[in-house]
Amino acid sequence: MDRHALAWLRWSGIAGIAGSVGYAIGDVLLLGNSATAAEFPHLASHLDNLLVQRSAVFLASSTERLAAGALVGVFSTPLYLAGIWHIFQASTPGGPRWSVPPFLLLVIAISTAPFVHGSFFYVAEILKAIGQVDGPAQETLIALATRTALWLFIAYGGLAVPALIGFAWLTIAIARGKTLYAPWVACANPIVCMLAASLVHRALPQPFKLLLSGAGLSLGMLAFFALSTAVLWNSPISPSPER
């Protein structure tokens, strides 16, 4: 690897860290509160609705906070994609078989992420409007929010499947020595990092436990990009060819 390639490897890793921070901030703004459906009288007749129960965290937040949470993630996506390029660069030693398929799968997944992340804003705004209308209109809004959430979670599945396959492919490549990573990094692959982050935040003191309750996936990717950038920072530099 020459100095130019190493610089790209470093900066794309830093970009991945920054993109993960952006998504984590968005998660905190969207989901970082403890509101429940029982706190909102106008939802009393809808407490048996699973969507209303799970979406109550949105209702205590202002439109401005929800919009900021949605947009900061959307605008962080190019940085996230640069982080995927960082992973691709680290996977090139094994050849196209080990580098191209996970790269394409992860690009497909991350390209879907801004739609998924940003769409929570629309579901939240629909649910917030329930308290501003009468009974029959409330049922219409609940049905609209349910349909919107259904397609949102279908899109989420379209993100999760290629991401899981891509990360699994990457992990096998790392374990088999087909990348710039040391084989032990396979034990700290993105899937492990995301699972760990989704559990570790529960041990944090308040208010961090509450604020980070919905940011486990973003924090996991932040941890992996930070680990990857640190591990590869001093990758061997090949001598420049003589001219």
Q: Are 197 and 216 in contact (CB under 8 A)?
A: yes
Per residue in 160-183, pLDDT (tens digit) is 999 999 999 999 999 999 999 999
Q: What is the pLDDT of residue 20?
A: 97
**SS3 of residue 95 by DSSP:** coil
Q: What is the pLDDT of residue 197?
A: 92
Using alpha carbons only, give the angle 72, 78, 102 rounded to the nearest 5 degrees.
125
Q: What is the pLDDT of residue 200?
A: 85
- Residues 6+ positions from 139 with CB-CB distance below 8 Å: none
CA distance linking residue 17 with residue 135, whole number of Å:
46
Q: What is the pLDDT of residue 42?
A: 67
Residues of the chain with pLDDT under 50: 239-243
Q: What is the pLDDT of residue 44?
A: 67
Cβ neighbours of 69 (radius 10 Å): 26
Q: What is the pLDDT of residue 241?
A: 43
**SS3 of residue 187 by DSSP:** helix
CA distance linking residue 238 with residue 223, whole number of Å:
28
